[in-house]
Amino acid sequence: MNETLSLGRIAGVRVGLHWSVLVIVALVGVALARGRFPAAHPGHSAVVYWGLALVTAVVFLGSLLVHELAHAVVARRNGVQVDGITLWMLGGAARLHDEAPTPAAELRIAGVGPLTSLLAGGLLAGVAAGLEALHTSGLVVEAFAWLAAINILLAVFNALPAAPLDGGRLLRAYLWHRTGDRLRATRGASSAGRALGWFMVVTSFLAVLYGRDLSALWPALIGWFLIAAATAEARQAEMRSLLRGVPVSRAMTPDPVTVPATATLTDFLAEGPFGHYRHSAFPVLAADGSVAGVLTLRRVDATPPQARARTTVHEVMRPLDEVVTAAPEEPVLDLLPRLESSPVRRALILDEGRLVGILTLADITRALAWPATSTARGSAGPRHERPEHPKET
Residues classed as catalytic: 68
Q: Which helix (H) or strand (E) holds 244?
A: none
> Does residue 93 contact residue 127 with C-beta atoms inside 8 Å?
no
Cite the DSSP H helix spans in the chain: 21-31, 37-40, 46-77, 103-133, 138-158, 166-179, 182-211, 217-243, 248-251, 265-270, 297-301, 313-316, 332-341, 361-369, 372-377
User: If you ran DSSP here, which 8-state letter would residue 245 be given?
Assistant: T
Closest CA to 273 of 308, 292, 301: 301
Q: How far apart (Å, rounded) are the C-alpha atoms in residues 182 and 176?
A: 5
Q: Which helix (H) or strand (E) holds 352?
A: none
Q: How far apart (Å, rounded) are the C-alpha atoms in residues 74 and 343?
A: 31
The edge-to-edge listing of strands for the beta sheet with 324-326 is 253-254, 354-360, 346-351, 324-326
HSE of 47, CA atoms in CB hemisphere, 13 A: 0
CB atoms closer than 10 angstroms to residue 69? 21
DSSP bridge pairs for 10: 13
Closest CA to 145 of 117, 125, 126: 125
188 exposed, middle or buried (CB, 10 Å; 0-12, 13-18, 19+)? buried
Q: Cα 46 to the chain's mean position, in Å?
A: 38
HSE of 327, CA atoms in CB hemisphere, 13 A: 4
